[in-house]
Amino acid sequence: TAVENIDIGGPALIRASAKNHDFVTVVVDPADYKGVLDELAAHQGATTLALRRTLAAKAYARTAAYDAAISNWFADRLDDPAPAWRAVGGHLAEPLRYGENPHQSAAFYRTPERRAGVATARQLQGKQLSYNNINDTDAAYECVAEFSEPAVVVIKHANPCGVAIAKDQYSAYLKAYECDPVSIYGGIVAVNRRLEADTATDLAKRFLEVVICPDATPQALEILARRKDVRVLLAGTLPDPLSAGMTLKSVAGGYLLQSRDNGRVKRADLKVVTRRAPSEQEIADLLFAFTVCKHVKSNAIVYAKNGATVGVGAGQMNRRDSSRIAAIRAAEAGEIAKRAQSPAIGSVVASDAFFPFADGLLAAAEAGATAVIQPGGSMRDKEVIEAADRAGLAMVFTGMRHFRH
């Protein structure tokens, strides 16, 4: 069993050797063999105290990570989401040039989880990934994995600025691009299928930071190779959006740990609360929009139509402003595409949390939306439902919130 395979003697010997590093050289990583051999050759069969101290620190960190893996295994088996002590272990993937800003130091660590994504991907070209690249690429790949149909996601600053599904990858890309052709500049693009040459040809025309996909055709890779600065990542497979897991966020003096948001709303979960029920097409778009909303920073409003976002309002301090910004984005994208009217007209709207007042919903109605999906649960739900009825909107409640901070 797993318990029988727990090593006792090995960690004990390593820790004892590390404590006695004034006289003992302890090596826990084959990558350090050459450095030790070089010192032995340079110092007549001895090592320096500086090296022994460095190796001792590494040894303690290695046994700590091993114990962390064991304690977390026990917590999972005991179904204990909040054990009295929680240890987190990781192995250095690479030091980064800097963090979110050049004056901040940073490093990228891999955990034992092995979840498909940026941590498991193989980089084929481009410069080293930055802290922000890794964060944004993770957001893009987690979002695109939500969809079973061919899907394309464009991310900027960890927020989707274009998401679409279609019968084929290139059509999905064109719809995602059209949502916000301005914000894609310097963005991240994720696809959930093998990257095809048609899509790569258009991507090669853009200034992009990262393209991530499960795999790519040789022709697609040849096309992207002409843009040597774009980082191309092949992840092999997609993460399971329904799988369990934990996410961690640091705060002053500690960290917050929570289960991954693997919630998904299905058609059967929808509760129609207005006089008018949504049409079949509206229901499909409502479910699509609410899925995208899960990956948008709160307060999040997403306008969608025909399996594509047409406007995204992210990270605002009130829901009305998010709704207005999404409508503005939609109108501007319509102008760029030379459409006769804003694509928000005839769209549906998703909100990651309930509307505390009717103003955000009414802003969506003014933009031309016809149906709304939201969790419900506000003390003013009755007022919001009445406002939706007066505006002729169909509205459904999900009973599930998707805050994202």
Question: Which amino acid, 37?
Answer: L
Could you tell me if 133 and 188 are in contact, meaning their C-beta atoms sit under 8 angstroms apart?
A: yes
Q: Among the options 58, 103, 156, 157, which is catalytic?
A: 157
SS3 357: coil
Residue among 25, 109, 7 nearest 63 (CA): 7
SS3 153: strand
State the CB neighbour count (10 A cutoff) for residue 343: 25
Long-range contacts of 86-95 (CB under 8 A, 24+ apart): 86/257, 88/248, 89/64, 89/65, 90/65, 91/65, 93/119, 94/128
Residue-by-residue DSSP string for 302-342:
EEE-SSBEEEEE-S-SSHHHHHHHHHHHHHHHHHHTT-SS-
Q: Please say if 266 is a catalytic residue.
A: no
Residue 344 C-alpha from the chain's centroid: 26
Residue among 400, 399, 374 nearest 387 (CA): 374
End-to-end Cα separation, the chain, in angstroms = 40
Query: The tokens of 238 are what?
Result: 């997609």
Q: Among the options 19, 43, 91, 382, which is catalytic?
A: 19
DSSP state of 124: E
Q: Please say if 405 is a catalytic residue.
A: no
Total residue count of the chain as it appears in this document: 405
Residues 6+ apart with CB under 8 A from 1: none
* Backbone angles phi and psi of 256, in degrees to 5: -100, 135
Q: What angle do CA 122, 126, 130 make, to 5 degrees?
A: 85
Give catalytic residues, as residue numbers: 19, 157
